[in-house]
Amino acid sequence: MTRSRAGAIAVLAGALALPASAMSDVAPAPRLARIVIDGGINPAVAEFVEDSIARAAAEGDIALVIQLDTPGGLLESARAIVKDILAAPIPVVVYVAPGGALAGSAGVFITLAAHVAAMAPGTTIGAAHPVGGAGEDIPGIMGKKVENSTASFSESLARQRGRNADWAGKAVRKSVSVGADEAAHIHVVDLVARDLDDLAARVKDRTVEVAGTSRPLDLSRTIGADGHARVVDYEMRLSERILDVLANPNVAYLLLTGGLLGLYVELTHPGFVLPGVVGTICLLLAMTAMHVLSVNYGGLALLLVGVALLIAEAFLPTFGALGAGGLVAFVLGSLFLFDTAGSGVAVARSLIFGAAGALAIFALVVGTLVMRTRRQRPVVGREGMVGTIGEARQRLDPRGTVLVRGEYWTATSEVPVQAGEAVEITGVDGLTLRVRPVGAARS
């Protein structure tokens, strides 16, 4: 009886242990990683994409979905993102969404580089002609070189992914753009999907080239029993969010000019503290932004010289010569501050002229106050005593004592002065005052 009991217990224990062992061998359900890019393409976004690809690969996600809505951005940052996508160890899906979204300019290249390119209904892709940071055409031979290089880049990406290379070239040379349905019809993108669940359900039985190796891709495996795809969202780190804001050339320019003015106020008015602290922080943030932007150091030098000349105008009697030169140098330095032809980034001209006008007014006001102060009669020291009215406390003939500003002084007068008579100070000899009767001074 005991032996049969022990056997039954062993069988029961084995039966209970079997499901646990089997469950440990079951692989976790596949999932999609997703990041959302809603705004300009800049170095912070490029770093975010690079980090997200590495993280999705490390965590075993089946693919990374880049949900894209961008008017464009820096060409160099777009090239960096494209390189990361082409070298990614997992498939990267670019999904232009939600409805009304745009994959413009730099967004075209990112979409063309994807292993799977999809668009939501009502979205648009195109208009990838390279322009300057303020939206202007890049003139001359340099503009033609940038256009040809960018068009070749776009066509090469389309050919590599089996997409419409002819349209990819026109998107750069002629700024053409198309809606989602037409883009899928002419093979600019692979499909139109209502949402991410629809996209996952339709991407199956595909073969994509990942890091030079053909690999099957079936996103429908991520769809759970509830009919929704299993998705994990990645967010930007705090440092990337801050850099995303600072990478705007207009923000960098405002921080630079604000920092210079803050330090100027602190140097000319020691003890205020706050302008110096704020100015230093603004300059450090501007330097951080310029580290990721393409800065023309000749333009930066011109801008700094311009500010220095405007400040000097407030203290030197040059009758506007330094101020005019400083204003010209400041505007030229601001226009040349970023390497526009190389990166497509520049400060908005309205912001430049607004800052130049504000700086000119500031220098004019400070200069006016300085000149007014110089013309004022001194109120302290030996010069401040001349012209002051006092009272003779005893007869001056020629020497005696006078009361001036509540103080007793020894004074001399060329004409006799009676005690109690008002006198005017005409000079100071050491600790002796030269005075004359007020009546004599007025005659």
To which residue do tokens 């004074």 refer? 411
Instruction: Judge if 41 and 185 occupy the same domain.
Output: yes
16 occurs within a structural domain:
no
What token pair was written down for 32?
């999609």
Q: Write down how long the chain is.
A: 443
Q: Which of 382, 394, 371, 372 is nearest to 434 (CA)?
A: 382
Residue range 382-408, pLDDT digits in tens: 666 787 888 998 888 888 899 988 888
In which band, very low, low, confident or very high, does the pLDDT at 431 lie, cut at 50, 70 and 90? confident
Q: Residue 238 above 70 pLDDT?
A: yes
pLDDT at 53: 96
203 occurs within a structural domain:
yes
Strand, helix or coil at 427? strand
The amino acid sitting at 25 is: D
Instruction: Judge if 224 and 291 occupy the same domain.
Output: no
Q: Which residues lie closer than 8 Å to 369 by C-beta, 6 or more apart?
A: none
The amino acid sitting at 324 is: A
What token pair was written down for 26?
């079951």
Task: For the chain, report the end-to-end CA distance as a whole number of angstroms.
Answer: 144
DSSP H helical segments within 314-420, as ranges? 321-335, 340-343, 349-375, 381-385
Instruction: Judge if 45 and 89 occupy the same domain.
Output: yes
Residue range 28-74, pLDDT digits in tens: 678 999 999 998 898 889 999 999 999 999 999 999 999 999 988 88
pLDDT at 376: 58
Point out the domain boundary residue: 325, 344, 375.
Answer: 375
Q: Output the CA–CA distances (angstroms, integers) from residue 400 to 418, 430, 434, 439, in the order listed.
A: 10, 15, 11, 18
pLDDT at 27: 54
What token pair was written down for 330?
């400041």
Residue range 244-302, pLDDT digits in tens: 888 788 888 889 888 888 887 777 677 778 888 898 999 888 888 877 777 778 888 88
Strand, helix or coil at 52? helix
Instruction: Judge if 88 and 207 occupy the same domain.
Output: yes
416 occurs within a structural domain:
yes
The amino acid sitting at 31 is: R
3 occurs within a structural domain:
no
pLDDT at 158: 95
CB 306 within 8 A of CB 326: yes
pLDDT at 367: 67
Instruction: Judge if 140 and 83 occupy the same domain.
Output: yes
Point out the domain boundary residue: 357, 375, 393.
Answer: 375
Mean pLDDT of the chain: 82
pLDDT at 22: 42
Domain with residue 84: its CATH number is 3.90.226.10
Q: CB neighbours (10 Å) of residue 294?
A: 18
427 occurs within a structural domain:
yes
- In angstroms, the CA 64 to CA 83 distance is 15
Strand, helix or coil at 189? coil
218 occurs within a structural domain:
yes
In which band, very low, low, confident or very high, does the pLDDT at 417 lie, cut at 50, 70 and 90? confident
278 occurs within a structural domain:
yes
Bridge partners of 207, per DSSP, are 216
Instruction: Judge if 192 and 170 occupy the same domain.
Output: yes
Q: By residue range, what is the domain housing residue 150?
A: 26-241
DSSP per-residue letters across 219-269: GGGGB-TTS-B-EEE----HHHHHHHHHTSHHHHHHHHHHHHHHHHHHHHS
Q: Which regions of 49-132 does DSSP assign to beta strands (E)? A: 63-69, 92-96, 102-104, 116-119, 124-126
Instruction: Judge if 287 and 164 occupy the same domain.
Output: no
Instruction: Judge if 359 and 393 occupy the same domain.
Output: no
Point out the domain boundary residue: 326, 344, 375.
Answer: 375
In which band, very low, low, confident or very high, does the pLDDT at 1 lie, cut at 50, 70 and 90? very low
- In angstroms, the CA 111 to CA 128 distance is 12
Instruction: Judge if 427 and 395 occupy the same domain.
Output: yes
Instruction: Judge if 183 and 277 occupy the same domain.
Output: no
Number of independent structural domains in the chain: 3
Q: Residue 134 above 80 pLDDT?
A: no
179 occurs within a structural domain:
yes
Residue range 197-220, pLDDT digits in tens: 999 999 988 999 998 889 999 999
Instruction: Judge if 135 and 272 occupy the same domain.
Output: no
Instruction: Judge if 321 and 438 occupy the same domain.
Output: no
- 404 vs 139, which has greater pLDDT? 404
- In angstroms, the CA 239 to CA 243 distance is 6
DSSP H helical segments within 59-202, as ranges? 75-86, 106-113, 140-160, 165-173, 180-185, 196-202
Whether omega for the bond prior to residue 216 falls within 30 degrees of 0, making it cis, is: no
